[in-house]
């Protein structure tokens, strides 16, 4: 058995130290069409090329007037104005009104010169080419002023925003057809283990299908990365080392699934140590499951050794690989984005849970809506090799290292998968 390189460290310390290293990475960018930019991360600010609205526009159907002309109008003393024309949204005619004149307009129409307000139809009475106005208004009533929404040169969207559907509409509305975004990071997953076989091979009694990579690939792509699964690597030091070096040539991040512990057949640590430019940030972390997750960099690129058991593998990924992937994607992790991307809800625990001392514990739970409207959380405390608990669970609860137990009836925060 190999001795751990670094003694137990807390999850927070390990992650904080690792993210410090990751922030040194330079990010690449690419130009893409705006309509294809959903969920991509902006590389540069979006700056307004012109005022929005570009001209004063009517916000309702009605009559464009100068507010001073109808200042004395009310229900008992209407003011009569001359109608000099009618303008639609598509009209580009430059109407100019004089004193006591008006133009009939539709919503979205350009406001005539010298007009500053729009009167609602219900406050008017039309008589041939004249209209009686039965209400007075202040200047700017029902008018969208030029540049009121955004002015030329203003920052419309700050860089590092994760693009939403409404952002796409706004960017196109400003006249952009292409934008610069962060390149999606390529993450290679290396499955390791003598017992593993590809999914198209019927496993023998001592073998299992290599499924972890497909789970990780799915989460990587949900998070905005590009997941690539390498060929299965047998438990051999040189084979693991060569696979890591090969993956680094085409990847921004590498995940090794399996072999991260300190057994005689666990080669991930030794393989990474043998590669020039490698730095071990943390190994043997105070958490359960997944304590033997290995955090390293090789020539600046993040390389993470994940345990082979499905639950430990996925837990370690969510705790460490997920925030690292977000960092190298260019995501600033603003408060609202964290809330959106990491949804959680409160639930009532349905049975007692014991937790190991001095280790942060992550427990899978299955949720159920109760008749009273509350949500219950049933914990799966089975072995980390059990695939079924991952499939049945809806999320995880985190038990702090200084907490020895949770009890039936406790209200807990569930972080949804």
pLDDT digits (tens, 9 = 90+) for 174-202: 999 999 999 999 999 999 999 999 999 99
In the structure encoding, which two tokens stand for residue 93, read together? 């005619």
> What pLDDT score does 160 carry?
92
Taking the C-alpha atoms of residue 121 and residue 63, their distance in angstroms, rounded to an integer, is: 7
Query: Per mean pLDDT, which range of 140-154, 302-316, 383-397 is the poorest?
Result: 383-397
Q: How many other C-beta atoms can be found within 10 angstroms of the C-beta atom of residue 314? A: 26
Tell the CATH topology of 11-27+184-336. Molybdenum Cofactor Biosythetic Enzyme; Chain A (3.40.980)
pLDDT digits (tens, 9 = 90+) for 356-367: 888 999 999 999
Chosen CATH of 57-144 out of 3.30.450.40, 2.40.420.20, 2.170.190.11, 3.90.1150.10? 2.170.190.11
In this predicted model, which residue has the larger pLDDT, 383 or 208? 208
Domain 343-416 homologous superfamily, CATH = MoeA, C-terminal, domain IV (2.40.340.10)
Within 13 Å of residue 342, how many CA atoms lie on the same side as its CB?
17
> What pLDDT score does 293 carry?
94
Phi and psi dihedrals of 107, rounded to 5? -60, 130
> Three-state SS string across 181-202, please?
EECCCEEEEEEECCCEECCCCC
Domain 30-49+161-182 homologous superfamily, CATH = Molybdopterin biosynthesis moea protein, domain 2 (3.90.105.10)
Q: Which residue has the tokens 């890591």?
A: 244
The CB-based long-range contact list for 130-133 (8 Å cut-off, 24+ gap) reads 130/80, 130/81, 130/82, 130/83, 131/63, 131/80, 131/81, 131/83, 131/102, 131/104, 132/78, 132/79, 132/80, 133/63, 133/65, 133/70, 133/73, 133/78, 133/79, 133/80, 133/81
Residue 391, exposed/middle/buried by CB under 10 A (0-12, 13-18, 19+)?
A: exposed
Phi and psi dihedrals of 101, rounded to 5? -120, 160
Q: Radius of gyration of the chain from Cα atoms?
A: 31
Residue 205, exposed/middle/buried by CB under 10 A (0-12, 13-18, 19+)?
A: exposed
Residues 283 and 304 sit within 8 Å (Cβ to Cβ): no
Domains 30-49+161-182 and 343-416 share a fold: no
pLDDT digits (tens, 9 = 90+) for 309-319: 999 999 999 99
| Omega of the bond leading into 289 within 30 degrees of 0 (cis) | yes
pLDDT digits (tens, 9 = 90+) for 295-353: 999 999 999 999 999 999 999 999 999 999 998 998 877 788 878 888 899 999 999 99
In this predicted model, which residue has the larger pLDDT, 98 or 334? 98
| pTM of the predicted protein model | 0.84
> What pLDDT score does 7 carry?
52
> What pLDDT score does 317 carry?
96
State the pLDDT confidence band at 246, using cuts at 50, 70 and 90: very high
Query: Per mean pLDDT, which range of 182-191, 277-286, 381-390 is the poorest?
Result: 381-390
User: Is the predicted pLDDT of residue 386 greater than 80, yes or no?
Assistant: no
> What pLDDT score does 383 carry?
65
State the pLDDT confidence band at 385, using cuts at 50, 70 and 90: low
State the pLDDT confidence band at 379, using cuts at 50, 70 and 90: very high
How much is the average pLDDT of 74-101? 93
258 Rama class: left (phi>0) / alpha (psi -120 to 50) / beta: left
Residues 329 and 224 sit within 8 Å (Cβ to Cβ): yes
Taking the C-alpha atoms of residue 294 and residue 296, their distance in angstroms, rounded to an integer, is: 6
> What pLDDT score does 1 carry?
41
How much is the average pLDDT of 370-386? 82
State the pLDDT confidence band at 4, using cuts at 50, 70 and 90: very low
Within 13 Å of residue 367, how many CA atoms lie on the same side as its CB?
19
Domain ranges (residues) in the chain:
11-27+184-336, 30-49+161-182, 57-144, 343-416
């Amino acid at each position: 058995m190999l001795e751990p390189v670094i003694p137990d460290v807390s999850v927070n310390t390990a992650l904080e130290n690792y993210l410090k290293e990751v922030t040194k990475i330079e990010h690449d960018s690419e130009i893409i069409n705006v309509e294809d930019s959903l969920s991509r991360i902006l590389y540069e600010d979006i700056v307004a090329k012109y005022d929005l609205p570009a001209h004063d526009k009517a916000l309702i159907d009605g009559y464009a007037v100068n507010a001073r002309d109808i200042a004395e109008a009310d229900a008992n003393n209407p003011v009569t104005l001359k109608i000099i024309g009618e303008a639609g949204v598509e009209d580009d005619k430059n109407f100019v009104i004089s004193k006591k004149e008006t133009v009939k307009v539709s919503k979205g129409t350009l406001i005539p010169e010298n007009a500053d307000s729009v009167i609602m139809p219900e406050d008017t009475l039309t008589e041939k080419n004249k209209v009686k106005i039965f209400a007075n208004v202040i200047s700017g009533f029902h008018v969208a002023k030029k540049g009121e929404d955004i002015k030329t040169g203003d920052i419309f969207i700050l860089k590092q925003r994760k693009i939403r559907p409404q952002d796409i509409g706004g960017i196109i509305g400003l006249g952009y057809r292409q934008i610069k975004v962060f390149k999606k990071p390529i993450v290679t997953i290396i499955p390791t283990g003598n017992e593993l076989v590809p999914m198209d091979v019927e496993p023998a009694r001592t073998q299992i299908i290599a499924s972890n990579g497909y789970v990780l690939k799915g989460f990587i792509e949900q998070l905005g990365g590009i997941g690539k699964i390498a060929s299965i690597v047998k438990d051999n030091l040189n084979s693991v080392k060569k696979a890591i070096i090969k993956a680094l040539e085409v990847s921004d991040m590498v995940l090794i699934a399996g072999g991260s512990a300190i057994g005689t057949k666990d080669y991930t640590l030794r393989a990474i140590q043998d590669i020039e430019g490698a730095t071990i940030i943390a190994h043997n972390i105070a958490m359960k499951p997944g304590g033997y997750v290995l955090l390293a960099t090789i020539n600046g690129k993040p390389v993470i050794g994940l345990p082979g058991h499905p639950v430990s593998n996925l837990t370690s990924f969510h705790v460490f690989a997920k925030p690292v992937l977000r960092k190298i994607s260019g995501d600033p992790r603003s408060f609202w984005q964290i809330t959106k991307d990491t949804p959680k809800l409160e639930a009532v625990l349905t049975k007692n849970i014991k937790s190991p001392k001095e280790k942060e514990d992550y427990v899978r739970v299955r949720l159920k809506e109760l008749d009273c409207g509350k949500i219950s959380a049933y914990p799966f405390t089975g072995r980390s090799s059990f695939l079924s608990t991952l499939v049945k669970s809806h999320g995880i609860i985190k038990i702090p290292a200084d907490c020895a137990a949770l009890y039936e009836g406790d209200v807990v925060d569930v972080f949804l998968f």
